[in-house]
A and B are shown apart, each in its own frame.
Chain A
Amino acid sequence: MILAQRPHPVLEVLDLRIGFPQGTAVHGITFAIEQGTTMALVGESGCGKSLTAFSILRLLPPTASILGGQVVFNGQDLATVSSRELRRIRGKGISIILQEPMTSLNPVLTIGAQIHEIIRRHERLSRRKAKSRAIELLDLVGISEPHRRYDQFPHHFSGGMRQRVMIAIAVACNPQLLIADEPTTALDVTIQAQVMELLARLRQQLSMAMLLITHDLGAVAQWADRVAVMYAGRIVEQASVNEFFAGAKHPYSQGLLNSSVGDGAHYTNRRLTEIKGSIASAAGATGCSFAPRCPAAVAACHGAQPALETFGPGTISDTWSVACSQLRFQKDRRDAVAVG
């Protein structure tokens, strides 16, 4: 399905709903990623962020399905496009790198073969040209002695190097969008910094947009331009990174920020702020899904699911929106006062 051309956002996710036979896991989320920017999707386990990321390329688990909404990429709706077209886009238009470097590479193929494979799939290059391009890529991602490494197997590589190989495979065909699902969680912190710097450099060189799935707010602060916080299958806050860290509005966002062990605190002088309870399932509760844990909840919060309210002007790509009935209440009051 070809929609009207929108020149700017590389990817627009509109009211996406994903569900399992047991129930809905993602309840209608909307966001957009501009060319060359990084959007971070943040949340804790069970919030649906990985599911959302995978659904963009329709890489869903067998029982899951997209129940509604659109995933617009280059004027096409990936949610409904044909399998053949989707395969053309995977690896070329949109690439994905995964969390576990230990299991993401095929252990019985040389890494050279794996990079070579994707280049040949999408570009019309001769074998020799494809091989030299693969070696270039290995060099680009910082693998020393790429000629020798080309013929080695994944088990010869450490975790950090395997992640670099994954990145090489992902950027081999100059994708417009890179989806990175917790790319550094399984790595040591010094390696994390290396890998994230590499990604930032590549992003700039290739003018690539990135969707970064993470639970690490520090990574968001350092590497992302925009952030969307997910809770129980919904986006509860979406803002630019500056706005978010200066003053996030949603109680859950605030809770997450306060839970982080920031610079300067020690147990002798500060107690960490807790968010009581633990994450609810995505299905079921009437009212705001965060209400049972929210320090600011009132009776109204248990009544209906709050809609996303926007603060300030903005199109879908630079809005600051928060889903909290309390803010709406405040906003209504403010409007009423302004009018009255």
Chain B
Amino acid sequence: MVMTDIVAENPDRPGAAVATSVIDAKRRPLLLTWLRDPFLCLATFILIGVIVVAMAADLIYPGDPLDMVAQPLLWPVQDLNYPLGTDALGRDLASGIVHGARVSLLVGFFAALIGLVIGTTIGALAGYFGGIVDNVLVRLTELFQTIPAILLVIVILAIGDPSVFLIVLSIGLASWPMIARLARSQFMALREADFVMAARGLGYGTPRIILREILPNALPAIVVATSVLVANGILAEAGLSFLNLGDPNRVSWGSLIGSGRTMLRDEWYLTALPGLAIVLTVLSINIIGDRLTDILNPRSGER
């Protein structure tokens, strides 16, 4: 920690020094932290790459990835027009992966978002108010937690028409309990902090205390946990599509793996390449989420 100690006279009070010595917190510039961490750099590039590709899917590969465009079962690089090969029905695998990225990322992010919003709301209310409110909400959380997530999702999809929207909703509903527990424990701890008591003592209303005082301090931990949700959402979607429970009109990484399943012995690239896409994306998200903890927390409590 470096301190600059410039001491001058306080005009209001002769004899007392103006304590202008402010500690320049050794908050290393973000760029430096990022540059020093090779895994973090790689993970960021990969994730950004995947996002860009997904967004530009229609530009890179216009048309429907489910169109049969070429000779079936071409190996990667065999025909440079189809760099990643084709499947049993002559569909371009590269196009499939690029378009599939869209679905996987959409599902991952939005399912996580639903989990975040529901979980944080329930956890915050339970943690802050305690008492009966807490009891009721905790029971609710436990209810959703004890239902096996995969069953919940399958049941919801079986009832309705499998669409990306429904998949996002069902995965979100299965994943909010984890966030709720975390939010609840954060709020319970922060509720007792001196600065929250000070806020109450200053007459701040409850909404202000929850949203402006406690929530910003609880968010770092919650956000980090949410990054895990994103990764899980992508994996869940992949699993669902693999089981043919996904949206039949859309290609996703999971559906690609599913359709390539029967040819795993010989044309293994049909499962391996989409699988690799999933692994790289999920790994990158996990690495970034892991590093987020250090990045998001200011040096509170430094003595």
Q: A: which residues have CB within 8 A of B? A: 45-46, 274, 276-278, 280-281, 284, 292-293
Contacts beyond the supplied A277-B7, A277-B21: 13 A-B pairs with Cβ under 8 Å? A45-B303, A46-B303, A274-B16, A276-B16, A277-B5, A278-B3, A278-B5, A278-B21, A280-B5, A281-B1, A281-B3, A292-B5, A293-B7
Please, which residue of chain A has its CB at the minimum distance from the CB of B5? A292
| Given A276-B7, A277-B7, also A284-B17 (CB < 8 A) | no
Q: How far is the CA of A284 from the CA of B1 in the complex (A)?
A: 10
Q: How far is the CA of A204 from the CA of B17 in the complex (A)?
A: 47
Q: How far is the CA of A51 from the CA of B18 in the complex (A)?
A: 31
Contact across chains for A284 and B2 when beta carbons are under 8 A apart: yes
B19 within 8 A of A: yes
Interface size on B, residues (CB 8 A): 10
Q: How far is the CA of A277 from the CA of B23 in the complex (A)?
A: 12
Contact across chains for A280 and B7 when beta carbons are under 8 A apart: no
Q: How far is the CA of A280 from the CA of B21 in the complex (A)?
A: 9
Residues of B within 8 A of A45 (CB): 303
Please, which residue of chain A has its CB at the minimum distance from the CB of B303? A45
Contact across chains for B19 and A277 when beta carbons are under 8 A apart: yes
Chain B 1-39 per-residue mask, 1 if CB under 8 angstroms from chain A, else 0: 111010100000000110101000000000000000000
B34 to chain A, nearest CB (A): 20
6 A-B pairs closest in CB distance: A276-B17, A292-B5, A277-B7, A277-B5, A281-B1, A277-B21
A329 to chain B, nearest CB (A): 23
A184 to chain B, nearest CB (A): 20
Q: B: which residues have CB within 8 A of A? A: 1-3, 5, 7, 16-17, 19, 21, 303
Residues of A within 8 A of B5 (CB): 277-278, 280, 292-293
Q: How far is the CA of A281 from the CA of B2 in the complex (A)?
A: 7
Of A46, A277, A278, A293, the most chain B CB neighbours within 10 A belong to: A277
Residues of B within 8 A of A281 (CB): 1-3
Contact across chains for B16 and A278 when beta carbons are under 8 A apart: no
Q: How far is the CA of A277 from the CA of B2 in the complex (A)?
A: 14
Residues of A within 8 A of B2 (CB): 281, 284
Q: How far is the CA of A215 from the CA of B16 in the complex (A)?
A: 24
Q: How far is the CA of A293 from the CA of B303 in the complex (A)?
A: 20
Residues of B within 8 A of A278 (CB): 3, 5, 19, 21
Q: How far is the CA of A292 from the CA of B16 in the complex (A)?
A: 15
Residue pairs across A and B with Cβ atoms less than 8 A apart, 11 shown, are A274-B16, A276-B17, A277-B17, A277-B21, A280-B3, A281-B2, A281-B3, A284-B2, A292-B5, A292-B7, A293-B7
Of A45, A284, A292, the most chain B CB neighbours within 10 A belong to: A292
Residues of B within 8 A of A276 (CB): 7, 16-17, 19
Residues of B within 8 A of A277 (CB): 5, 7, 17, 19, 21
B16 to chain A, nearest CB (A): 7
Q: How far is the CA of A278 from the CA of B19 in the complex (A)?
A: 8
A287 to chain B, nearest CB (A): 12
